[in-house]
Amino acid sequence: MSRIAVVTDSTADLPPAIRERHRITVVPLTVAFGDESFRDQVDLSTDAFVARLLASETVPTTSQPSAGTFEATFRELAGDHDAIVAVLISSRLSGTVESATIARDAVAGLIPVEVVDSENATMGLGFQAITAAELAAGGTLTATAIAERLRSTVRAYETLFYVDTLEYLRRGGRINRVSALVGSMLDLKPMLRIDEGQVVPVERTRTRSRARAALVTFVRGLPHVERLAVVHISSPAEAESLAAEFDLTVARDNILIAQLGPVIGTHVGPGTLGVIVDTGSPTP
């Protein structure tokens, strides 16, 4: 067994079977509805979150794990590991990296911890955690070498998605009220991507079918696809159908379907569909 532990956070949206197969430890972020707080994908599943989101007048909020939570995780892993690599959600989207860095310093005398800013989220982070686990399992690289490998390839992951409504982006302060109103009136489906660690707009399409077609065109236009994830919140059949579009682009065994968790769901809302691509090499 590898003596290097791999840690990520719940926004990686790793399917449970993948987490278990690669022995990846997941530290949850928190979703709150008013005074009620839930650990992402621990106390609250995505399906339960969506049901509550649609029924509640309370706007949910999210928060990063505390430094104490990370410290407790690192101390527990120190019992049977020699080092830890923690690859986490983009520091431009969350303070999670900051919490883990404080915890790293607190356990410095006990176990070395490498904290890596993925500059990504959902399976753009998840693929990096999987890569870290694969490298650790190889048994030839140190934690420092694994972290350096991850940092040198953060631009190898392309994340593109569309949201069904602009309302959740407005609630989170990503767009203003006027833009949300106009978008709703025109039924626009904004295409978004993660670029240098932050969410940026790409284009707006008029229909869901056109937005989906744009995802297909994007993936097929890439020079190389190492592996791919289709992500959704509450539309598994649509995700399966989209994944089938890529059978000639990438081997089916290298295509994952992942459900976005409550934390990501808070900011993008139900109906979101996206693709995350591991291109195998960083873009310039």
pTM of the model: 0.92
Q: Are 45 and 28 in contact (CB under 8 A)?
A: no
In the chain, the amino acid numbered 275 is V
What the block records as the tokens of 223 is 């020079």
Token pair 């932050």 in the structure block, residue: 198
CATH 3.40.50.2300 describes domain 156-278: no
The DSSP code for 188 is -
Please list, residue by residue across 116-148, b when 16 or more beta carbons sit within 10 angstroms of its beta carbon and e when fewer do.
bbbbbbbbbbbbbbbbbbebbeeeebebeebbe
Residues in the chain predicted with pLDDT less than 70, given as ranges, are 1-2, 166, 169-187, 206, 282-284
Q: For residue range 125-175, list pLDDT tens digits in order.
A: 999 999 999 999 999 999 999 999 999 999 999 999 998 876 776 665 544
Other beta carbons within 10 Å of 25:
18
Cα–Cα distance, 228 to 64 (Å, whole number)? 27
What CATH number should be reported for the domain whose range is 4-29+64-152? 3.40.50.10440
Other beta carbons within 10 Å of 7:
24
What the block records as the tokens of 213 is 């077609």
Q: For residue range 27-57, list pLDDT tens digits in order.
A: 999 999 999 999 999 999 999 999 999 998 8
Please state the domain extents for the chain.
4-29+64-152, 156-278
Enumerate the β-bridge partners of residue 141.
none
User: Dihedral angle at the C-alpha atoms of 209, 214, 215, 218, nearest 10 degrees?
Assistant: 160
Distances (CA, A) of 196 to 117, 125, 126: 11, 13, 17
pLDDT at 74: 98
**CA 269 to mean position of chain CA atoms:** 15
In the chain, the amino acid numbered 159 is T
pLDDT at 39: 97
Enumerate the β-bridge partners of residue 230.
257, 275
